[in-house]
Amino acid sequence: MENGPQFKKTLTPSQAKPKIEKFCAYQERSHQQVKRKLQGYGLNGMDADILLVELMHANFLNEERFAMAYARGKFKIKGWGKAKIKQGLKREGVGEKLIQQALASLGMDDYLDTLNTLAAKKWPLIKGASHIEKVFKLKRYLVGKGYDFEAIDKAIAQVVN
């Protein structure tokens, strides 16, 4: 038996349409995710673009709805900060205007409460030789979560004191 490349069966646009509609109905998707999926079905160029437009008209695909859901989900479930959410939305090909809109939809009070909660939960778990080392490790953790330095400093001041 040969170990040559495995060829997937390509779908026609009419075969791909119900599959991609189900894919979009399951959860909010970006245009980029849908395009990748259509390419996986063997559709490129004009056929994929036509299906994308049909999905937008049928309201299966909405970039603004995706950006809002992505920002809300990553913030509420994973505790991500605005910097990390912005990076993820850029990676998904979302425009700058929609990114700003999605980030603005996150309430500042909730944002700071989440940051304070993360800092308070992480502080007792950090092992370090000195107080300064522990503070540095906590800062690094919170920056990795995507929070800004000014907010991190305030949160750390509350946790440490």
What sign does the dihedral 127-132-138-144 (CA atoms) show?
negative
**CA 12 – CA 75 distance, rounded (Å):** 38
pLDDT at 3: 53
SS3 at position 14: helix
Instruction: Determine the 3-state secondary structure of 45 from DSSP.
Output: helix
Residue pLDDT tens, the chain, 161 long: 445 455 567 888 899 999 999 999 999 999 999 999 999 988 888 989 999 999 999 999 999 999 999 999 999 999 999 999 999 999 999 999 999 999 999 988 999 999 999 999 999 999 988 999 999 999 999 999 999 999 999 999 999 87
Domains of the chain: 9-61 (1.10.10), 62-106 (1.10.10.10), 108-160 (1.10.10)
Structure tokens at 159: 């946790």
pTM, 2 dp: 0.86
Provide Rg for the chain, Cα atoms.
21
